[in-house]
Structure 1
Amino acid sequence: MKYLLEQYCVSLTNSVIYIKISVLVLFISFSLRLNAQKISSQVFNGWGSSIHLNRETFDGSVGESGVTTLKAGGYIITQGFLQPIDLKLPCGEIQLKAFPNPVVSEMRIYAEGCDVKISAVKAYDLFGKLVYEGEPLENNVDFSSVGVGVYMVRALDEEEKVLGVIKVVKTTI
């Protein structure tokens, strides 16, 4: 009986050690953020081009850092990473400016604080009804078709994202 009890204690001790080691390995793996299947490559391209043949597109650039050449039979394939990088930098708060305000027929609208282009303008009356929608031509907005009143004007970028809202007064004088 004593022998069985000693064997049980040894087995229990080994199980506890195994569990502790397993927990330690898991903790180290997650704390180091091990990513087994991740390939990441970026290239800053100074020049590149695309060639369209039939239904295929071939992209190339100067400065590909990861290049491999494969040879099989009479064929040679050179491949590399081509990862375009969008260099849109985050910007601060965007402020809309519109003048003249009050407007009689035409106003100019600008977005300051960021390098963005206003691609659409929407004007709403104070009840939330859309009364004007258009694209500014060189930042000019034709407000002649809008009646006299107070409007909330939204400026949107190319992605239909609201850049800001400004209060505009339409008058006849």
Structure 2
Amino acid sequence: MPSDAKTASLLRSTPEGKCAYLDADVRDPQKILTQAARTLDFDRPIGLILLGIMGQVSDDEEPERIVAELIDALPRGSYVALSDGTDTSEKLKVAIEAYNTQSANSYHLRSPERIGSFLQELCLVEPGLVKSADWRPDPGSADIAHDQSHAVGAVGQILG
């Protein structure tokens, strides 16, 4: 089956699972949760993926609160994957500043520790919060230029 036919098949749902598109902004977690509840069973574990999205949220918009609100709605056993760009490179900070002056949207680099704090209530899966390039790389894969990797990520599970 061609890949676009497989995708269309998934979007129409099957007895094994469901798929839905939500048109929402991460700054409105209640809208996301309300729409997601139409498709997802919040009595069973859910996977939440926040890859590169929280950097779109300014400090004034309280990214920690947004992530906490999303996590608090998830049942025990759920997993959360989060990754974002860090402020560890002067070159990247200059590039992001230039991007932010020319873009309708801005990106907000944060320290690895601050990004990790978004998942502080979760039990992190090994290897924990690490540079994204180091998170379970394929054995024998070409080594990514480690000094050029300026994003960190982790996966955590809700245990209690």
Question: Does the pair score TM above 0.5?
Answer: no
What interval of TM-score do these two structures reach, taking the shorter chain for normalisation?
Answer: under 0.3
TM-score (norm 1): 0.21
Q: Say which structure, 1 or 2, has more relative contact order (CA 8 Å, 6+ apart).
A: 2
* Higher strand residue share: 1
TM-score (norm 2): 0.22
